[in-house]
Amino acid sequence: MDRADEMKALADVRLRLQEHFPELDADVVEAAVRLAHSELTGPVRAFVPVLVEHAARDRLAFARRDDAGRGDVTPAAPTDG
C-alpha cells in the first residue's frame, strides 16, 4: 500500500467513524484517527487502515461512554505505564 492509498483509506475510516459516532464532533473523530495512525510506524503498511479504525473506534467508544451528557470530549490518550 503506498502513501496515497493509505491516506485515502484513512479518509474512509474517518467517514465511517463519523457515521458510527454522530454525537461526537468531527474534530474529535479526526483526532482519534490521527492519534491511532501516529502510533503505527512500522514498515508494513498493508493493515494500517484496519488497525487505525479499530484503535480509533475503541477510543471514541470510551469517549462516548465517559462523556454521557457533557459537551467537551477529547479522545483518551495512551499512557506509558
Q: What is the DSSP letter of 17?
A: H
DSSP notation for 50-70: HHHHHHHHHHHHHHHHHTTT-
Which one has a higher pLDDT value, 76 or 10? 10
The predicted structure's pLDDT at residue 1: 85
Tally helices (H) and strands (E) across the chain: 3, 0
Confidence of residue 69 (pLDDT cuts 50, 70, 90): low
**pTM higher than 0.85 for the full model?**
no
- The answer, yes or no, to whether residue 80 has pLDDT greater than 80, is no
